[in-house]
Amino acid sequence: MGTVVDDGKKEAQQEALQEAQQEAHGSLADLNPTVVFVLGGPGSGKGTQCANIVEHFGFTHLSAGDLLRAEIKSGSENGTMISDMIKEGKIVPSEVTIKLLERAMLENGNDKFLIDGFPRNEENRAAFEDVAKIEPSFVLYFDCSEEEMERRLLGRNQGREDDNVETIRKRFKVFQESSLPVIEYYNSKGKVRKIDARRPIEEVYESVKAIFAPKDEKAD
């Protein structure tokens, strides 16, 4: 029985890939959106800065994690598959996440997007470019020391279960091992805009504004 179930999952994943490719080729490439990948370790402050960019520069902020959670909550067949994979400790296939991102972009009506927390690794990155047939305009990288990120995460009062030293350090390790190769890849193509995120929010935003403002002088 195990083999039949595994085969069924493989087929579902393959179908998700094919559907994602069809959707991408049919319309996302036609839309030719401006896509900015936003990367940074946990506690680097990227969420706060994304909100500023949305407010002042007209981008739409998409979080891969939020889209996956929303799909699970919807109770759709796709959401059930995602939920089952997470429960089994498996990584959700890149194609499934990309499909959700594409759908969100096409339904939104905007043509400027911040994609937050994606790609998480090189496999995500390669799959996005292969499926969507578009590349990011650039990568906005919030560079922050582990000491500062740890201080922020432990200091915030959000009641999150994962805000403890042991879990936080594991998340740092995952980010270092998985996301830094993505940053290095895009850096080799001259596409990384690195921000010193150790500074106060206002100072960080001044640096962010300098990156976006030349393209849109209407910013406040």
Q: Confidence band (pLDDT; 50, 70, 90) for 10?
A: low
Tokens of 47: 């969420």
Q: Confidence band (pLDDT; 50, 70, 90) for 218?
A: very low
What distances in angstroms separate CA 138 from CA 21, 30, 37, 67, 81, one per listed residue? 22, 19, 7, 22, 32
Q: The sheet that has 112-116: what strands, in order across it?
A: 60-63, 112-116, 34-40, 138-143, 192-196
CB atoms within 10 A of CB 13: 17
Q: Which CATH class is domain 2-212?
A: alpha beta
Beta strands in the chain (DSSP E): 34-40, 60-63, 112-116, 138-143, 192-196
Is 92 labeled as ligand-binding?
yes
What distances in angstroms separate CA 93 from CA 5, 22, 124, 186, 211, one per listed residue? 17, 17, 9, 22, 32
Is 40 labeled as ligand-binding?
no
Is 48 labeled as ligand-binding?
yes
Is 44 labeled as ligand-binding?
yes
> Which pTM was predicted?
0.78
Is 189 labeled as ligand-binding?
no
Read off the pLDDT of residues 80-126 as tens digits, 9 standing for 90 and up: 999 988 888 777 889 899 999 999 999 988 999 999 989 989 999 99
CA torsion sign for 103, 25, 121, 47 is: negative
Is 69 labeled as ligand-binding?
yes
- Ramachandran bin of 125, using left for φ above 0, alpha for ψ from -120 to 50, beta for the remaining angles: alpha
Is 103 labeled as ligand-binding?
no
**Cα–Cα distance measured from residue 193 to residue 183, given in angstroms and rounded to the nearest whole number:** 10
- For the chain, the structural domain boundaries read 2-212
